């Protein structure tokens, strides 16, 4: 768990530089090498940090053995991202802030949790929740108004 906390704190530090979108993602290989680190993208409602990280990983490392990789996300993966994590056959997904806080802040997340999606796949990553949750929750709360304004502006309701 110590390594998860170290990597999550690094991801939260990286993600907190963006004062609008509190979503960040990183992917590590089994040796501990950081392969990619991404932020959520405000230009598309489907360019979530997890999707962007997976996409960049496939482009940079076309011969990856995905079942040896661990994905870190500041926020619990949504349905789309949880399914993508299963499709690429990740070893583990680690997240900080859970969907209930996102619902409380913005009301735009559906009620399904990452585990609801992943538990329906025959090959699914181990799901580790709540790593550095307090620090991440503070970051999410600090972005509450700016992210809500972005969503309203883009009509992603």
Task: Look at residue 151 and give its three-state secondary structure.
Answer: helix
**CA gap 27, 4 in Å, rounded:** 12
> Which structural domains are found in the chain, ordered by start?
1-19+26-149 (3.40.140.10)
C-alpha 49/C-alpha 86 separation (Å) is 16
pLDDT at 15: 96
- The torsion region of residue 122 among left (phi > 0), alpha (psi -120 to 50) and beta comes to alpha
Across 13-46, b (16+ Cβ under 10 Å) vs e yields ebbbebeebbbbbbbbbeeeeebbbbbbebeeee
Residue 83: both structure tokens together? 């399914």
Which residues pair with residue 37 across a beta bridge?
26
Question: According to the model, what pLDDT value does residue 114 have?
Answer: 97
Q: Are 111 and 142 in contact (CB under 8 A)?
A: no
Q: Output the six-digit token pair for 130.
A: 């709540």
Q: Mean pLDDT per segment of 10 residues, for the chain of length 157 residues?
A: 96 92 95 97 86 97 97 97 97 98 83 94 96 97 78 57
pTM: 0.93
pLDDT at 81: 97
């Amino acid at each position: 768990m110590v390594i998860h906390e170290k990597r999550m704190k690094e991801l939260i530090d990286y993600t907190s530089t963006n004062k609008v979108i509190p979503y960040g993602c990183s992917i590590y290989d089994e040796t501990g090498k950081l392969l990619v680190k991404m932020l959520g993208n405000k230009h598309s409602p489907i360019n979530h940090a997890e999707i962007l990280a997976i996409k960049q990983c496939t482009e940079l490392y076309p011969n990856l053995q995905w079942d040896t990789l661990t994905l870190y996300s500041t926020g619990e993966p949504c349905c789309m991202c949880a399914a993508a994590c299963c499709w690429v056959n990740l070893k583990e997904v680690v997240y900080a802030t859970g969907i209930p806080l996102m619902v409380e802040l913005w009301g735009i997340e559906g009620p399904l949790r990452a585990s609801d999606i992943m538990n329906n796949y025959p090959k699914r990553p181990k799901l580790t929740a709540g790593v550095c949750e307090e620090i991440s929750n503070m970051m999410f709360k600090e972005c509450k108004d700016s992210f809500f304004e972005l969503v309203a502006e883009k009509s992603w309701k």
